[in-house]
Amino acid sequence: KVYLKRLEIQGFKSFADKTNLEFNPGITLVVGPNGSGKSNIADAIRWVLGEQSVKSLRGGKMEDVIFAGSDKRRPLGMSEVSLTIDNSSGIFPLEFNEVTVTRRLYRSGESDYLINRVPCRLKDVHELFMDTGVGREGFSIIGQGKVDEILSAKPEERRGLLEEAAGIVKYRHRKREAVRK
Ligand code: ATP
Ligand code: MG
């Protein structure tokens, strides 16, 4: 089974300090008062998977994901999130039992993506997760209001969701790339 093993957050939104969250197979609940950062954890997962929509990250500009400072702390210059997924089932075409994806963003606008600590392109991250059901557009992250969105989606949008679930997006994507070339 594929499951999230670990999420390491540093400088992302309210997580100024390095925070390591370990997950186990099964269900994990995150509880806490309003504004304590629960949704920021879901945002961090979506962000590291390559989310480009600032709106879905609940910000005005991408820089808003970097810790903006508080009464006691100065703003940080960089945000870094790493997500480690168990790959013992080999769902990812990599010869590792774990896959770690990292994303960094500096205030200068510079950003990095890494797969197992090796720099890569955003495209590589997208391709890695395509059809695994883990991707940022997959069913795995259902944000507030998402259920509603699926129910009221246009036919072609709903088709996209079904295709992702069926695992054929990869082929559609490759075909599109091939036609373009
Ligand atoms: P609720 O129960 O209301 O849904 P929550 O636990 O989901 O709350 P979040 O939305 O995750 O809360 O966290 C909101 C907090 O994160 C706010 O206090 C906000 O100020 C803080 N925050 C968001 N972005 C940043 C940032 N860039 N720097 C510092 N703090 C941030
Ligand atoms: Mg919330």
pLDDT digits (tens, 9 = 90+) for 78-88: 999 999 999 88
Most confident of 46-60, 69-83, 158-172: 69-83
Is the ipTM above a cut-off of 0.90? yes
Ligand nearest to the CA of 43: 1
| Per-domain residue ranges of the chain | 4-132, 145-181
Distance from residue 38's CA to the centre of ligand 1 (Å): 8
- Reported pTM: 0.84
Instruction: Match domain 4-132 to its CATH number in 3.20.20.70, 3.40.50.720, 3.40.50.300, 3.40.50.1980.
Output: 3.40.50.300
Least confident of 9-23, 49-63, 85-99, 108-122: 85-99
Give residues (CB < 6 A) around ligand 1: 13-14, 32, 34-40, 64, 66-68
In sequence order, what are the residues at sequence separation of 6 or more whose Cβ sits closer than 8 angstroms to the Cβ of residue 152?
none
Ligand nearest to the CA of 33: 1
Q: Residue ranges of the alpha helices (H) in 88-135?
A: 122-129
Q: Which ligand 1 atom minimizes the distance to the CA of 14?
A: 30
Which pLDDT does position 76 carry in this prediction? 98
Distance from residue 13's CA to the centre of ligand 1 (Å): 7
> Per DSSP, which regions of the chain are E strands?
4-10, 19-22, 78-86, 98-106, 111-115, 118-120
Q: What average pLDDT does the chain have?
A: 89
